[in-house]
Amino acid sequence: MPEPVLHSVGLCPRTVLRAGSWGGGGRGRGDPPAGGGGGSPGVLSRTSRWGDDGALRAGIRLHFHALVKGLTAQSASKAQLGLGHSYSRAKVKFNVNRVDNMIIQSISLLDQLDKDINTFSMRVREWYGYHFPELIKIVSENYTYCRLAKFIGNRKELSEESLEGLEEIVMDSAKAQAILEASRSSMGMDISPIDLINIESFSSRVISLSEYRKGLQEYLRSKMSQVAPSLSALIGEVVGARLISHAGSLTNLAKYPASTVQILGAEKALFRALKTRGNTPKYGLIFHSTFIGRAAAKNKGRISRYLANKCTIASRIDCFSEVPTSVFGDKLREQVEERLAFYETGEPPRKNLEVMKEAMVEANEVVAEVKRKQEKKEKKKKKREKRRLEALAAAAEEMENSVLEAEVRAGAPGGCLAGGGCGDPAVRGPAVPCPAGFVGALSPPKHSPGPTGEGSSLRGPGIRLLPGLGTGHLFTLGFPFRKTT
């Protein structure tokens, strides 16, 4: 390679042409072995310290943006980064239906909505309580109270005709009758129409927020059944989502030991106990599960430790299994129930090995069924795609034929367009290419083909032969052709 080229890629010729460096007995760390054909002085060796011509490739890679016109160093780095991301996405299995980020955001929004709806409902109670204070004692649920405040409005206008609407809201005829009687003897003050309009508007906002919260909870339940079905079946969707959110991701939760999962969410109490040398907490977020509430006071620590152990197993199964299934979660829940019964009655629970064997058999059946449905769905998808492509191809062919037919009908009506040995001005119609040796079947030919088979013309229903076209160009457009002998 010329010396200026080597300098242009940032290499010194002495770096590549290691003259006399391998001829002597002293060998460096990067020199080739003795029997590897260590070359003559001044000869470019194929094995250098960087591999086969590694120095040259490294220099070209380093100064590639200077060698390619219009390429900057920043663009090259962005291209390398994009290539790396594409390669990683292709190599790593990624399922958009099993992304736990949506669960983290959903449970955070759900907790925030609970706080906001509580605050707004208390504001509606206080605001509407000036006009109808007895309603607070009759109805305690926030959502129902806001619906009643919007439905009743001015309590003086409430009558027997409104009893059916009240029963529909409170789902209790006795409560509806009590509301009606309380409105007749209420001690609340009168309210102006403009104040009543604002109260009803605010109540509508609280009702819409409550309805949105119900929809968000259904969405969270569906996402948890896709991402962590075993954890959801064991401890519930809301508590499982809080564990995932507190850990940061399902993978982080799966990496935690059972002792960490047990006190997850009670970090303040843990460090305070360590600082003051007091008793450490027995449970954190898992306290909200039903198992700990059902256990006796002396058994709460034991059942929380056992439940944290099962939660760790469930999270690891959900994180690393290819096909998510709730079979293991149901079996783990049965084990916790049996452990609760053991604490209360002394009945010994089943061995973990037996339960896991049963779960493995059921899980294999469920996975086989899911895979069979996925294959069936994939086959249907391929069939639909094939039909769609065939329909597109048929439509494109029909459009091409219609365009060609329109061009044929719009052709010049006079003179022979063949330009070959024909010269017959009596032939009319547009020019259509016809291969040699074929004649129109609808009318007899007037001429015989020329010596080359091209440039001849046929007297048919508007058929002409263009010069320069061989036998591969045949457009019938509804005109049948027959081969002449």
Say which residues have a Cβ less than 8 Å from residue 136's Cβ, sequence separation at least 6: 125, 129, 145
Q: Mean pLDDT in the chain?
A: 78
Q: What do you get for the CA distance between the two ends of the chain, in Å? A: 66
256: nearest Cα among 313, 322, 333, 301: 313
- Compute the 3-state secondary structure of the chain and give helix, strand, coil in percent, each to the nearest 5: 60, 0, 35
Q: Which residues contact 477 (CB under 8 A, 6 or more apart)?
A: 401, 404, 405, 408, 432
The secondary structure of residue 156, as a DSSP letter, is G
Going by the DSSP 8-state scheme, the letter that residue 279 receives in this structure is P
Residue 437 is predicted with a pLDDT of 43
Q: CA angle, 236 as apex, 235 and 241 as ends, to 5°?
A: 100
Give the pLDDT confidence score for residue 374 in this predicted structure.
87
Q: Are 71 and 65 in contact (CB under 8 A)?
A: yes
Residue 10, sorted as left (phi over 0), alpha (psi -120 to 50) or beta, turns out to be left
Looking at residue 471, its pLDDT comes to 41
Q: At what angle do helices 142-152 and 193-227 cross, to 10 degrees?
A: 150
pLDDT for 92: 64
| DSSP line for 326-346 | SHHHHHHHHHHHHHHHHHHH-
| Predicted local confidence at residue 105, as pLDDT | 93
Cβ atoms within 10 Å, residue 483: 8
Reduced to 3 states (helix: H, G, I; strand: E, B; else coil), residue 36 is: coil
For residue 185, what is the DSSP state?
T
Query: What residues in the chain have per-residue pLDDT under 50?
Result: 1-48, 50, 412-485
Separation between Cα atoms, residue 224 and residue 237, nearest integer Å: 6
Q: How far is CA 79 from CA 60, 65, 69, in A?
A: 16, 12, 16
pLDDT digits (tens, 9 = 90+) for 259-286: 999 999 898 989 999 999 888 888 899 9
Report the residue count for the chain.
485
Neighbouring C-alpha atoms within 13 Å toward the C-beta of 259: 2
Q: What is the per-residue pLDDT for 383?
A: 92
Using alpha carbons only, what angle is made at residue 370 by residues 365 and 374, rounded to the nearest 5 degrees? 150
To 10 degrees, what angle do helices 142-152 and 101-129 make?
50
Measured between alpha carbons, how far is 413 from 318 in angstroms, rounded to an integer? 76
Q: What is the token pair recorded at 416? A: 């022979």
Please state, in angstroms and rounded to a whole number, the distance separating the CA atoms of residues 241 and 386: 41
Over the stretch 331-384, which tens digit does the pLDDT of each residue have?
Answer: 999 999 999 999 988 889 999 999 999 999 999 998 888 889 888 989 999 999
Residue 52 phi/psi, 5-degree rounding, is -70, 110
Which residue type, as a one-letter code, is found at position 429?
A: G
Q: Give the per-residue pLDDT at 42.
A: 42
Counting residues of the chain whose pLDDT is more than 70, the rounded percentage is: 72
3-state secondary structure at position 481: strand
Distances (CA, A) of 113 to 116, 163, 352: 5, 32, 40
Which residues 6+ apart lie within 8 Å of 295 measured at CB? 302, 303, 340, 343
Distance CA 430, CA 383 (A): 42
